[in-house]
Amino acid sequence: MTNSIADIQQADTIFVTGSNTTESHPVIGAQLKRSVRNGSKLIVADPREIPLAAEADVFLKIKPGTSIALHNAMMNVILEEKLQDETYIRENTDNFDELAESLKKYTPEYSAEICGVDADKIREAARLYAGVDKAAILYCMGITQHVNGTETVMSLSNLALITGNIGKPGSGVNPLRGQNNVQGACDMGALPNVFTGYQPVGNPGALEKFEKAWGVTLSDKAGLTVTETFKAIEEDRVKMLYIFGENPMISDPDTHHAEHALQKTFLVVQDLFLTETAELADVVLPAASFAEKDGTFVNTERRVQRVRKAVKPPGEAKPDWVVFMDLMNRLGYEKKYNDAEEIFEEIRKVTPQYAGITYDRIKGRGIQWPCPTTDHPGTPVLHIGKPARGAGLLKPVEFVESGELGDEEYPLVMTTGRILYQYHTRTMTGKTEGINNMAPEVYVEVNPELAAAKGIEDGAMVKITSRRGFVTMKAKVTDRVEKGVLFVPFHWESGANVLTNGEVLDQYCKIPGLKVTGVNLEKMA
């Protein structure tokens, strides 16, 4: 997030898109609703009538994968009605003229056709967003999990920049991160192209710095992403895969393909349970849970917070860092750490954003990076005064329909997401009886009109087919989704991800287009 969670209370308008906030981030959802009830305006764009839609001043039930068309049309209206922040554009952005030119064709009527919503509602949303002092954008995987996910985020960034909604409280472009420490994992360079603090492996200065810090020679060649790794295994370029705390058998696209790759490679899995992925492993290592170790998690607003040991790990399970240290030592790299804090001290030395954060400073409350020195209070809002890169780059992006669509054999769009009563691949939530009673099994949401046309009754078993395979599940007949759209929560095995596409990826960040899958639906005999 460029801004902070508490900031939401200060926004005059909040634009929530591609985020089912009250179910996926319930505690932010509650704070968001409080802000709306205290007078903030709310725009919601989502292919489903999510619970937040009921609180919205404008609800845009867009077709999955059409966000770029919507954002471009909102900007078209903003420029047409002169609602942009001229001063901010002049002083803090690059490339405005090219952007403005690219937006000309995205009239509300043009995009309304693409998105399947009212042109006037797009106008209303644009005015609500641009006509106030502070407007915040909150988004999630509904924006990013597309083959043009990066460009969809760019279009949101354009929207924020031309209205000056960046670098001040109550504004910003705010991704809501879905896992407890996805921010920390990214910050630590658990990405194939960067070291900690996003220092590129291909940058000679950064490479030299880490070679010196770690006392070894390092590779400057960017590595493989998760999705590329499976392909590399198929092509015999990768022979061994070490997975720690992930369950790609459920969370990754195209399960059958992933399963094949996981079976083919020498697989090490380190986890709390014998997950669907661990069952395929050659070596399984028992890990300690969050309640069994000391350390830190970094939340979606970049706040580094303490995790504390409350109980002992079961049996011989160990904290993951102990396992990595042991393996490093056995591989000939002699470096010992007595506890997680010693590792954190090393992180501070090589990561400028973390340099000022210590365990002692975060014992009461966490600190938001960047925090360069020990007397720095941390940074609740990024890009104050000026964007970090000097001038915000306005990059024109065009709407392109996903290649998954337009096939007569697979005429419907399946989109995926989380529900309140389960979490990710159910490895943890699936162990609680009450949770399983509330959300016992996978289902597909089907619009009543589509259900009637196909003779599907509520609760009936249906078969969903995509180019990757088929799955069967119960139908939940609801007008929460439109006629051409199906929604399947992805938590369960042999579910949504059997159908999704793991082949076509976003050109910049290699994210798969999990939110748009071309499918067919049939009633089971």
Partner 1 sequence: MITLKINGFDVEVKEGATIYHAASSIGVKIPTLCYDERLKPHGSCRICVVEVEGARSLMASCSTPAANGMVVHTESEAVVTARKELLDLILANHPLDCLTCEKAGRCTLQDLCYQYDIEESTFDGKRKSYEKDASNEFYTADQTKCILCGKCVYVCSQVQNTDAICFVDRGFETHIGTPFDMGLSESTCVSCGNCVAVCPVGALMPKRKEKFRYWEVEKVKTTCSYCGVGCQMELLVKDGKVVEVEPVKGHSNDGLLCVKGRFSYDFVNHPSRLKKPLVRKNGVLEEVTWDEAYETIVDKIKEIKAADGPDAIAAFSSARGLTEENYLMTKMMRAVIGTNNVDHCARL
Least Å from the CB of residue 321 to partner 1: 5
**Of 17, 194, 161, residue with least CA distance to 89:** 161
Least Å from the CB of residue 485 to partner 1: 21
CB 323 within 8 A of CB 330: no
Residue placing its CB nearer to partner 1 in the complex, 83 or 147: 147
The DSSP code sequence of 18-65 is S--HHHHSHHHHHHHHHHHHTT-EEEEE-SB--GGGGG-SEEE-PPTT
Least Å from the CB of residue 511 to partner 1: 4
Least Å from the CB of residue 221 to partner 1: 6
Residue placing its CB nearer to partner 1 in the complex, 127 or 257: 257
Measuring CA to CA, how many Å separate 46 from each of 78, 226, 275, 485, 517?
21, 27, 32, 12, 16
Residue placing its CB nearer to partner 1 in the complex, 56 or 103: 56
Least Å from the CB of residue 362 to partner 1: 10
Residue placing its CB nearer to partner 1 in the complex, 195 or 443: 195
Residue placing its CB nearer to partner 1 in the complex, 263 or 472: 263
**Of 228, 146, 246, residue with least CA distance to 500:** 146
**d(C-alpha 114, C-alpha 400), whole Å:** 10
- The sign one gets for the Cα dihedral 180, 183, 187, 191 is positive
CB 63 within 8 A of CB 47: yes
CA quadruple 282, 286, 290, 292: dihedral, nearest 10 = -170
Least Å from the CB of residue 229 to partner 1: 5
Opening angle at CA 62, ends 68 and 26, nearest 5:
95
Residue placing its CB nearer to partner 1 in the complex, 153 or 450: 153
Structure tokens that stand for 30 in this block: 């509650």
Whether residue 370 has a cis bond before it, omega within 30° of 0: yes
DSSP tag of 10 = G
Residue placing its CB nearer to partner 1 in the complex, 289 or 520: 289
Least Å from the CB of residue 383 to partner 1: 20
Least Å from the CB of residue 111 to partner 1: 27
Residue placing its CB nearer to partner 1 in the complex, 394 or 511: 511
Least Å from the CB of residue 93 to partner 1: 27
**Of 438, 306, 414, 302, residue with least CA distance to 23:** 438
Least Å from the CB of residue 25 to partner 1: 5
Residue placing its CB nearer to partner 1 in the complex, 117 or 362: 362
CA neighbours closer than 13 Å in the CB half-sphere of residue 379: 18
**Of 43, 78, 79, residue with least CA distance to 62:** 43
Residue placing its CB nearer to partner 1 in the complex, 292 or 482: 292
Least Å from the CB of residue 231 to partner 1: 11
Amino acid at 375: D
Least Å from the CB of residue 122 to partner 1: 27
CA quadruple 476, 478, 483, 486: dihedral, nearest 10 = -40
Measuring CA to CA, how many Å separate 352 from each of 195, 197, 199?
12, 7, 10
Residue placing its CB nearer to partner 1 in the complex, 219 or 373: 219
Judged by DSSP in three states, 306 sits in strand
- The sign one gets for the Cα dihedral 467, 472, 477, 478 is negative
Residue placing its CB nearer to partner 1 in the complex, 84 or 145: 145
For residue 349, give the H/E element and its range: helix 340-350
- The sign one gets for the Cα dihedral 314, 316, 322, 328 is negative
**d(C-alpha 231, C-alpha 359), whole Å:** 40
